[in-house]
Amino acid sequence: MQGFIKEHLRPLAGSVGLHVVLVGALAIAALRWTSQQPPVELAIQGYLVDGPAKVRPLSEPREAPVEQVPPPVEAVKPPEPEVEPPPERKAEEVAAAERAAAEAREQQLAQERVAQERAAQLAREQAAAEAQAKRKAAEDAERKKAEAAEARRKAEEKAQAEREAKLRAEREADLQRRLAAEEEEGAAAAARAGVMDEYRLMLVQTIERNWIRPPSARAGLECTLYVTQAPGGTVVDVKLGPCNGDQVVRESITTAVYKSSPLPAPRDPRAFERRLEIVFRPKE
């Protein structure tokens, strides 16, 4: 990874630099633009203020389509025809006029019929549209409800997931802490074991240096001393345990222990042990 970075440092640096320059230029331009166009700033403010009002309808059942449909009757209604001819015309003219009137009536009736039909049609359509709109609205509402429920559910799920994640994280953290603590404890114990070995070695070497082996201390000898030391290492008591050696050997080992007083102290005071069991078992 590091090798990769090193190898591609120059192109990477170039690309990053280029981006920095571009972004910087854009940022400067934007800054200049915004500072030179205060009205736009106002306009942006206005949008921001309008934002919630525009968003609100989205969450409500939609009624706008119904309002937007123009009243069909008014829109389709034809201009009113001239029904009354001028009275000073002749019979033919009257008859023609009557025919014409009849035709006009006919026409009017037809028109009215058509209009009625159209109106009915329109009404039907309107009703259908309304029904559809209602249905749609209901559907929308239903969907919204469902969506809201879904959102709630999702939110709840998310919250639950977050709670669980948090709990998991806490547990994990706790575990890590405990593990760390245990590890620390283990390390401390190990360190103490090291200190212990060192302490033991110091004690053994001190006593061996001070033990002048008498001629009768040969291989096969095994003598135990129970030694009590004070915290400063001062030997306060030496008791002879099992011992197959003669009086001279007993004298010599007891002397060696007293002569070693004060006994060496461990590096870690916790390794100090008041009571020692010292076994003299010389190799030939």
Partner 1 sequence: MQAMVATRKSRAGATLLALVSLLFTMPGHAQLRLDITQGVRDAVPIAVVPFGGQAEGGSNDIAAVVANDLRMSGRFAPLERRDMVTRPTSGAEIRFEDWRLLNSDFIVVGRVEPDGAGLAVSFELHNVQTGASLLAQRLPSNEKGLRATAHRIADLVFERLTGIPGAFSTRIAYVAVDGKPPAQRYRLIVADADGFNPRTVLESREPIMSPAWSPDGQDLAYVSFEGKASAVYVQRLATGQRSRVSARAGINGAPAWSPDGRGLALTLSRDGNLDIYTLDLRTQTLTRVTSDEAIDTEAEWSKDGQSLFFTSDRAGNAQVYRVRLDDSRRAERVTFTNGYNARPRLSPDGKELAMVTLDRGGYRIAVMDLASRNLRVLTDARQDESPSFAPNGALVIYATREGGRGSLAIASSDGAFQQRLSSDQGDVRDPAWQPFGPRT
**Residues in touch with partner 1 (CB under 8 A):** 175, 179, 182-183, 185-186, 188-190, 192-193, 196, 199-200, 203-204, 207-217, 226, 238, 246-249, 251-256, 258-259, 270, 273-283
DSSP annotation of 214 reads -
Nearest to 229 by CA among 183, 266, 193: 266
Q: How far is the CB of 166 from partner 1 (least distance, A)?
A: 20
Distance between CA 127 and CA 132 in Å, rounded? Answer: 8
Q: How far is the CB of 199 from partner 1 (least distance, A)?
A: 8
Q: How far is the CB of 213 from partner 1 (least distance, A)?
A: 4
* Comparison of 123 and 196: residue with beta carbon closer to partner 1: 196
DSSP annotation of 240 reads E
Q: How far is the CB of 183 from partner 1 (least distance, A)?
A: 7
Nearest to 257 by CA among 227, 277, 281: 227
Q: How far is CA 229 from the centre of its chain?
A: 59
Dihedral over alpha carbons 134, 139, 145, 151 (to 10 degrees): -140
Distance between CA 158 and CA 266 in Å, rounded? Answer: 58
* Comparison of 138 and 189: residue with beta carbon closer to partner 1: 189
Q: How far is the CB of 219 from partner 1 (least distance, A)?
A: 10
* Comparison of 97 and 280: residue with beta carbon closer to partner 1: 280
Q: How far is the CB of 231 from partner 1 (least distance, A)?
A: 12
Largest pairwise CA distance in the chain: 176
- Give the count of alpha carbons within 13 A of 7, CB side only: 4
* Comparison of 46 and 262: residue with beta carbon closer to partner 1: 262
Query: Phi and psi dihedrals of 238, rounded to 5?
Result: -130, 120
